[in-house]
Amino acid sequence: MPTSRPKVKVIVTRRLPEPVETRMSELFDVELNTSDTPMTIEQLGEAASRCDVLVPTITDKIDGRMLARAGDRMRLIAQFGAGVNNIDVQACISRGITVTNTPGVLTEDTADMTMALMLAVPRRIVDGVGAIQSGQFTGWSPTWMLGRRIFGKRLGIVGMGRIGTAVARRAKAFGLQIHYHNRKPVREQVANELEATYWESLDQMLARMDIVSINCPHTPATYHLISARRIKLMKPEAYLVNTARGEVIDEAALIRALETGELAGAGLDVFENEPNLNPRLKALRNVVVLPHMSSATLEGRIDMGEKVIINIKTFADGHRPPDRVIPAML
């Protein structure tokens, strides 16, 4: 009688939603991180040395040092996340390791949170909650808790991919005028649907917008894309929203602009040096800072897990995984 093939050895670096872990356990020989404690580079290397597939998250640094500890057994890194800036993809490829990610499943969740921040900062929603909780509210007044209207304002989207386009659809329903900067214009049908204006020059767009939403990936080309010089181009009454990656904005320059009134406010779900938040940023009253939770829905996390499972199973069956990452994509 033919013997069945041994199950693929999979090591997962963080806790995943229970339905995902259960399904993985049914299909593979899985080792779960039940403590949910982030692994050190030594622990990542040790794990990689005894598995066929490593399932890291965006908080795990997969670089040359870690790969040097990994040996030759691991053939697939199935990232639980859309971004792969924590992985040296080129180093993986040079060692014959395939890298996959989970694109597309978090688009709507991230766009929802972008819109929430776009409302929360100008309308001072967090200030209002704080006033209620601290007992400051003693009754309505014509001048109490005044914010700024977003209807009719100009929204500039930096990065008109899946998420940027989803943000634009929501913002248009709220009556904002849609403008965007991207490597190339979107399809004419999409531009017409959104009544969107394309700006080839990011500088020129930033100088004219009331709200700017950052929705581009973090790559070497986008590191500090919103630099001190570009922040100075923005109007003093403008707001900046970032649900992409903290490294896209020069955070020190942003803090200075917010402290001095050169910018009206900011809504940030991401920041540089996560999870360490600059105390100056935390102290600002014109800023709403969230703990990187734009994609944090149960539905989204399960969808991500299903993509990871499909990528592993496809690879284990000897086929090319559907979400394989190649350097040209970065």
Q: Answer for the pair 158, 225: CB distance below 8 angstroms, yes or no.
A: yes
Phi-psi region of 71 (alpha: psi -120 to 50; beta: other; left: phi over 0): left
- The predicted structure's pLDDT at residue 4: 60
**DSSP strand pairing (9-12 vs 29-31):** parallel
The per-residue pLDDT for 260 is 97
Stretches where the chain sits below pLDDT 50 are 1-2, 329-330
123 is catalytic: no
* Given 256, 274, 306, 324, the catalytic residue: 274
Question: Rounded CA gap, 330 and 246, in Å?
Answer: 17
- Marked catalytic residue, from 14, 23, 292, 301: 292
292 is catalytic: yes
> What per-residue confidence (pLDDT) applies to 330?
47
pLDDT of residue 201: 98
Q: Specify the pLDDT at position 22.
A: 97
Tokens 């209807």 found at: 151
Instruction: Choose the catalytic residue: 14, 23, 245, 301.
Output: 245
Residue 219 has a pLDDT of 87
Hey, what are 122's tokens? 């100008």
pLDDT of residue 70: 86
What pLDDT digit, counting tens, does each position of 222-237 carry? 999 999 999 999 999 9
Give pLDDT tens digits for 73-87: 999 999 999 889 899
pLDDT attached to residue 326: 86
Active site residue 245: yes
Produce one character per residue of 50-59: b if its CB has 16 or more CB atoms within 10 Å, e if not: ebbbbbbbbe
**pTM score, two decimals?**
0.89
Residues whose CB falls within 8 Å of the CB of residue 118, separated by 6 or more in sequence, listed in order: 150, 155, 171, 211, 213, 239, 241, 267
pLDDT at residue number 85: 87
Domains along the sequence of the chain with CATH:
9-104+297-329 (3.40.50.720), 107-289 (3.40.50.720)
